[in-house]
Amino acid sequence: MQQPLAGSTFTDVMGAPAWKTLPSWYLVAQQDQAIPPDAERLFAKRMGATTIEVAAGHLAMVSHPDETARLIEAAVAAV
């Protein structure tokens, strides 16, 4: 059963996001209808991510497991 959000959710302060200091990788789903692909590209660019694009919807990691695995392997090899 889902629980309501804690009241602190609206007042807690987050620290600096990790992508500002750590290398990042991003899989853009070109046919995503949940998150616009142009927004995904913007997010990836803002974080300086190594990016690949696949012709897929929102669950690109499920429909394109090989490309996803290669991206993860590239990230592991780089760090």
Q: Is residue 12 helix, strand or coil?
A: coil
In this predicted structure, what is the pLDDT of residue 14? 87
Q: Encoding tokens for residue 4?
A: 């309501």
Pair 79, 23: CB distance under 8 Å: yes
Whole-model pTM? 0.79
Sign of CA dihedral 34, 39, 16, 78: positive
pLDDT tens track for 10-67: 999 889 989 899 999 999 999 999 999 999 999 999 999 999 999 999 999 999 999 9
2: confidence class by pLDDT, cuts 50, 70, 90: confident
In this predicted structure, what is the pLDDT of residue 64? 97
